[in-house]
Amino acid sequence: MRGAGASRGKPKTDRPRRGMFRRKRVCRFCVDKVEFIDYKEVRMLIASIPERGKIQPRRLSGTCAKHQRKLQTAIKRARQLALIPYVTD
């Protein structure tokens, strides 16, 4: 289903327009209410791995400690299964 002309105009309007995009300090997993990070979800993992294949630090990603840890575990597992690369070069 595609949201065709769904709800418009959010109640909260106190959002300063600073920063380009994806610069929020909120953990995206918390926002999505992700409790378990699946190592099979390659797409999600790849989003946390910038080009070099390293895991993006919390500082940059804004991921909270809890989720960062789960993410790390998931990434490591995915690497072992060769779902994602150790190093991209």
What is the number of the residue whose Cβ is closest to Zn ion? 27
Least separation in angstroms between CB 83 and Zn ion:
22
For Zn ion, which stretch binds (CB under 5 A), given 4-12, 38-46, 48-56, 59-67? Answer: 59-67
Q: Tell me which long-range contacts 61-69 makes (C-beta under 8 A, separation of at least 24).
A: 61/28, 62/24, 62/25, 62/26, 62/27, 62/28, 63/27, 63/28, 63/29, 64/27, 64/29, 64/30, 67/27, 67/29, 67/30, 67/34, 67/37
Over the window 17 to 56, marking each residue x when it contacts Zn ion by CB under 5 A and - when it does not, the resulting string is ----------x-xx--------------------------
Least separation in angstroms between CB 52 and Zn ion:
23
In the set 42, 47, 55, 64, which binds Zn ion (CB under 5 A)?
64
Q: Which residues form the interface with Zn ion (CB under 5 A)?
A: 27, 29-30, 64, 67
